[in-house]
Amino acid sequence: MVLAIEEVTALAELDCLVEFTRNGDPTRDSTGMIMNQLTLTDSEVKMIGRQLADIMSRYTSVEDPDFLNSSAVIAHEIPTRVRKFLNDFKQLEPPPGICLISGYPVSDAGIGRTPTHWKHRPEPSPMLEMEMLFVLMASLLGDVIGWATQQDGYLIHDVLPIKEDEYSQIGTGSQQLIWWHNEDAFHPYRGDYVGLMCLRNPDRVATTFASVDMIRLEHCSVRTLFEPRFTIRPDESHDLSNDLSNDLGNGNGHSVNGNGHTVNNANGRSVNNGNGHSVENGNGHSVQSPEHNGAMREPFGRPRKIAIMSGDPSSPYLRLDPYFMDPPDDDEAQQALTGLIGEIDSKLSEVVLNPGDILFVDNYKTVHGRRPFKARYDGSDRWLKRVNITRDLRRSRDSRGSCTSRVII
């Protein structure tokens, strides 16, 4: 954890709550920033419902490669107003770098109890309708991607409290505040957007956010922040023990021997060991061994120095995760980082997601986090789905097993 965090205002002391209107009109938070929200009309909900029913008659999982390959085409059947809303968010990069789509109904009884762990994935998913809607909307922004080191390489992640993670700096924690950050900031192939879909949030746990366009850049040492003088390590959600390009003895029926020979897992899928051969995870996505490419492993050892800002100095892109950053080597860089953290802290806002809400965060413009809460582990806790979205899938081709794979190793 970078020492600069201790020198700025504590996040828990901030209390800037964003209340979105429910009529589709933009509103403002206490900083005066216009919020971007669209509320689905009854006719749009019915239209989308019919479309999803047809899609579910053809596909049984959002992890199906055929569905993923077709999702960008199918997504253009979504009502025009929704497509325009997301296209404007993508092309215009409006502050504060988030947008919210509300109004699609979620059956609390129909989705079942909040699982105790993300590994519990019934097939077919009782959330299939919502998951498909989520992926289709995400496909209007780009391509959904996943990580070999996160949640067994699945593309759609569960964000829910896990007892053993209670005090961890991870999305499956609860009692510890999740410090604001850019998602997967340590990695050059991080997503352009992060999507969060709320299934359940009975305690109204807030998601925090702040955009680089909300801060006073004149108070920051922008020149220094544009220079490669900083390091970011992987957050706790990335675990090399989950890497499917390693030996796959991870408790999910995967098994390989130590000689590079192919064996089958419990689901009949063919896998290989980590000696340069391709492997396949439980949802059919092909990934490669890290011996082909060290991009995923490098940050776990000696991460290279990077710049925190890039792009246009007057409206820069951001790459920041203070909790997992090493202290810079020199005072100038440390002061620049401390100043930026203080500016973001001073502009931090909150949004409380309700069931059916789909929130997209511009991961190049906006940081996000989460307030702490007390989990009950009784099946009624907060439950979100999460996706990472890239605008350029080809950019990560050297770290994916095939041109159609969505999993980065």
Q: What does the pLDDT look like over 138-149, one tens digit per residue?
A: 999 999 999 999
What pTM did the predictor assign?
Answer: 0.83
* pLDDT at 135 > cutoff 90: yes
The DSSP H or E segment spanning 359 is strand 358-362
What phi, psi does 247 have (nearest 5°)? Answer: -60, 130
Percentage, residues of the chain above pLDDT 70? 76
222-to-119, 134, 212, 215, 339 alpha-carbon distances in Å:
42, 36, 12, 12, 10
Average pLDDT over residues 55-79: 97
CA atoms within 13 A on the CB side of 302: 0
CA-only gyration radius of the chain, Å: 21
Domain at 15-215+351-408, CATH from 1.10.3720.10, 3.60.130.10, 2.60.40.10, 3.20.20.80: 3.60.130.10
Q: What is the pLDDT of residues 298-335, one digit of tens each?
A: 555 678 999 999 999 999 999 999 999 999 999 999 99
Q: How confident is the model at residue 237 (pLDDT cuts 50, 70, 90)?
A: confident
pLDDT the model gives residue 217: 87
Give 124: exposed, middle or buried? Use CB within 10 Å, 0-12, 13-18, 19+: exposed
List of E strands, 219-306: 263-264, 270-271, 279-280, 286-287
CA distance linking residue 198 with residue 42, whole number of Å: 19
- Give the pLDDT confidence of 45-54 residue by residue, as tens digits: 999 999 999 9
Rounded distance, CA 238 to CA 280, Å?
18
Specify the pLDDT at position 355: 98
Contacts of 49 (CB under 8 A, 6+ apart): none
E strands within 118-171?
143-147, 157-159
Task: Provide the pLDDT for residue 299.
Answer: 55
Is residue 256 predicted with pLDDT exceeding 60?
no
Is it the case that residue 263 has pLDDT exceeding 50? no
What residue ranges do the domains of the chain occupy? 15-215+351-408
